[in-house]
């Protein structure tokens, strides 16, 4: 081997040897610098090309069947002083009970692909009670306002007095009530027979509306339903990655019709897929079907979860505004309350989305809201630790790391002298339930994310290695030049062999 190597080198002149050595060093140096400067971005571009949603793609399986465990923590509010509701100066007292924790499984049905780079689907969700994670049992007795009575009374509030007299008689004779007591399971999913709903269902007129069931629960027939949430159409990101996961249509239209102008426009994410390569100051927008509106979350700082650095996005004081703090949100004020009777900041009137029932959406405990909401009752206080609505996300890949979707639904109850059940009571915002949808990335999925994030460094480190090799080769060439140790060229191979 030594003979052959020496023979090869001595076949070349010193100039040729220098060209080979310094030429090789130059080529390696160029390749190394390209790897250092362009390698990470080129590899990241290759990763981004793999991200668009397509059948059989890397994103598809995790989108169709969410791999991260999701839990829905439900809190109910027990009305503890119902007998004192008509005592002057006594405020209704509501105690938050729970949580009742359910493991949530998400499946997408009727997935249909379209040539304009969109895909439609119907979300299907299953909830399984987790007693070990819960702060109560499903047999807990809870006293809550009777929504059917309050909703019907709200519709009848502006009717002529003569009609209200007959309505009052019918309400009192057919199961109307200011409040009722049932188990947590009955209030949440199981449901209970409701005499007033049964009566209203038989009437089916303009006063009662289209009642489809004589049973009541907050999430009646919701568990496992494949069509309850409707049809969502989102962008796949195949043409523009900045559009991936963006909601384009809900039930075939781009406007909900529940709020005016921009407030009713369908947009944002369905929370299953987020746009990658997000800028540090960029907002997150999610669409919430249950409340028929979008929620904006703004960056609030950086944090590290499972070894992955992410940006935490939170709601803010004007999230549930109707124009008081932010004039652009005036369109969340119900048409019938414009322009001077819009709700104060901190709660969105969602009656248009709740079949006319005077229901409000807010942060739990009326966090960030005008004090006038929480001051109408006692017993409930906001907890900034668990009542904040946030999503922590890795911005390059758009992967959620930690999620706490926290909302409260309340019922506005007002007195009415013509309706005996409401006569003599104060006006108050009764908290009905709080939903905390919780998800956190698992260690296994975190490893996949970290690997994807570290792959671009391979290009960087490879470039550094090649550059170091180029420097080493050049250094050897310089050393040999300075010490004059280049091989003397010998043309006759036999001479080289004979010398050995």
Name the more confident of 204 and 86.
Answer: 86
CA distance 433 to 430: 9
The tokens for 314 are: 């939170």
**Chain-centre distance for alpha carbon 286:** 6
Largest CA distance in the chain: 129
Q: Which residues contact 261 (CB under 8 A, 6 or more apart)?
A: 331
The DSSP annotation for 72-116 comes to: EEEEEEEE--GGGTTSTTPPPBEEEEEEEEEEEEEEEEEEEEETT
Collapsing DSSP to helix, strand or coil, 146 comes out as coil
Of 360, 344, 208, 377, which Cα lies nearest the Cα of 291? 360
CA distance 79 to 140: 13
Collapsing DSSP to helix, strand or coil, 343 comes out as coil
CA distance 13 to 420: 113
pLDDT band at 227 (very low <50, low <70, confident <90, very high): confident
Q: How many CA atoms lie within 13 A of 87 on its CB side?
A: 8
- DSSP-based helix, strand, coil % in the chain, nearest 5: 35, 30, 35
Contact 118, 248 (CB under 8 A): yes
Which residue is associated with the tokens 């109850």?
413
* Averaged pLDDT of the chain: 85
pLDDT tens-place string over residues 421-459: 999 999 999 999 999 999 999 998 899 888 888 776 666
Report phi then psi at 134, rounded to 5: -95, 160
The tokens for 365 are: 């405990």
User: What is the pLDDT averaged over residues 408-417?
Assistant: 95
**Chain-centre distance for alpha carbon 258:** 21
pLDDT band at 180 (very low <50, low <70, confident <90, very high): very high
CA distance 348 to 354: 12
Q: Which helix or strand (DSSP H or E) is residue 471 part of?
A: helix 443-483
Residue extents of the structural domains in the chain: 29-53+442-486, 68-436
pLDDT at 32 over 70: no
Of 280, 293, 290, which Cα lies nearest the Cα of 320? 293
CA distance 255 to 264: 5
User: In the prediction, which pLDDT does 29 show?
Assistant: 65
User: In the prediction, which pLDDT does 98 show?
Assistant: 87
Q: Which residues contact 209 (CB under 8 A, 6 or more apart)?
A: 155, 200, 355, 356
Q: Which residues contact 162 (CB under 8 A, 6 or more apart)?
A: none
Which residue is associated with the tokens 């703004």?
298
pLDDT band at 157 (very low <50, low <70, confident <90, very high): confident
User: In the prediction, which pLDDT does 48 show?
Assistant: 73
How far from 218 is each of 75, 98, 256, 409, 432, CA to CA, in Å?
A: 12, 16, 22, 10, 9
pLDDT at 334 over 70: yes
User: In the prediction, which pLDDT does 414 show?
Assistant: 95
pLDDT at 146 over 70: yes
How far from 48 is each of 285, 392, 398, 478, CA to CA, in Å?
A: 21, 21, 11, 43
The tokens for 424 are: 């003599």
User: In the prediction, which pLDDT does 10 show?
Assistant: 56
CA distance 60 to 444: 18
**Span of 6-15, 20-29, 134-143, 233-242 with lowest mean pLDDT:** 6-15
Report phi then psi at 448, rounded to 5: -65, -40
**pTM for the structure as a whole:** 0.83
Which residue(s) pair with 136 in the sheet?
none
The DSSP annotation for 425-436 comes to: PPPEEEEEEEEE
User: In the prediction, which pLDDT does 18 show?
Assistant: 60
Q: Which helix or strand (DSSP H or E) is residue 390 part of?
A: strand 390-394
Q: How many CA atoms lie within 13 A of 260 on its CB side?
A: 15
Contact 35, 463 (CB under 8 A): yes
Radius of gyration of the chain (CA): 33
pLDDT at 43 over 90: no
The 3 state secondary structure assigned to 267-323 is: CCECCCCCCCCCCCCCCEEEEEHHHCEEEEEEEEEEEEECCEEEEEEECCCCCCCCC
User: In the prediction, which pLDDT does 242 show?
Assistant: 86
Q: Which residues contact 24 (CB under 8 A, 6 or more apart)?
A: 473
How far from 494 is each of 5, 8, 354, 487, 489, CA to CA, in Å?
A: 14, 13, 99, 17, 13
DSSP state of 65: B
């Amino acid at each position: 081997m030594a003979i052959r190597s020496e023979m090869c080198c001595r076949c070349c002149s010193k100039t040729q040897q220098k060209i080979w050595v310094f030429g090789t060093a130059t080529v390696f140096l160029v390749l190394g610098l390209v790897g250092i400067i362009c390698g990470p971005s080129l590899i990241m571009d290759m990763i981004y090309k793999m991200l668009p949603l397509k059948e059989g793609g890397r994103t598809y399986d995790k989108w169709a069947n969410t791999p991260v465990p999701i839990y829905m923590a439900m809190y109910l509010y027990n009305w503890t002083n119902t007998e004192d509701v008509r005592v002057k100066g006594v405020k209704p007292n509501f105690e938050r009970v729970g949580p009742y924790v359910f493991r949530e499984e998400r499946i997408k049905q009727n997935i249909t692909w379209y040539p304009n780079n969109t895909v439609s689907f119907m979300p299907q969700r299953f909830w399984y009670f987790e007693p070990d994670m819960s702060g109560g049992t499903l047999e807990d007795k809870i006293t809550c306002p009777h929504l059917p009575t309050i909703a019907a009374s709200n519709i009848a509030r502006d009717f002529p007095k003569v009609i209200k007299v007959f309505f009052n008689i019918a309400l009192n004779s057919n199961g109307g009530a200011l409040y009722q007591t049932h188990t947590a399971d009955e209030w949440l999913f199981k449901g209970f027979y409701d005499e007033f709903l049964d009566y209203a269902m038989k009437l089916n007129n303009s006063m009662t509306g289209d009642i489809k069931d004589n049973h009541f629960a907050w999430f009646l027939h919701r568990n496992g339903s494949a069509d309850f949430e409707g049809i969502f159409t989102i962008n796949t990101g195949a043409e523009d990655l900045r559009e991936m996961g963006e909601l384009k249509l809900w039930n075939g239209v781009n406007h909900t019709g529940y709020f005016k102008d921009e407030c009713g426009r369908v947009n944002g994410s369905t929370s299953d897929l987020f746009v990658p390569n997000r800028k540090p100051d960029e907002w997150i927008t999610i669409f919430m079907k249950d409340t028929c509106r979008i929620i904006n979350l703004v960056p609030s700082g950086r944090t590290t979860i499972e070894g992955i650095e992410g940006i935490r996005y939170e709601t803010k004081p004007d999230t549930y505004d109707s124009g008081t703090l932010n004039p652009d949100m005036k369109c969340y004020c119900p048409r019938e309350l414009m322009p001077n009777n819009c709700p104060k900041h901190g709660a969105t009137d969602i009656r248009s989305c709740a079949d006319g029932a005077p229901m409000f959406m807010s942060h739990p405990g009326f966090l960030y809201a005008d004090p006038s909401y929480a001051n109408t009752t006692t017993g409930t206080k906001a907890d900034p630790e668990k009542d904040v609505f946030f999503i922590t996300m890795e911005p390059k890949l758009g992967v959620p790391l930690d999620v706490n979707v926290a909302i409260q639904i309340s019922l506005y109850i007002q007195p009415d002298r013509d309706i005996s059940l409401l006569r003599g009571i104060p006006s108050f915002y009764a908290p009905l339930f709080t939903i905390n949808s919780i998800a956190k990335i698992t260690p296994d999925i975190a490893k996949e994310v970290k690997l994807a994030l570290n792959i671009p460094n391979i290009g960087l480190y490879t470039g550094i290695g090649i550059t170091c090799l180029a420097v080493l080769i050049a250094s050897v060439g310089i050393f040999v030049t300075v010490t004059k140790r280049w091989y003397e060229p010998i043309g006759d191979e036999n001479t080289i062999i004979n010398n050995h």
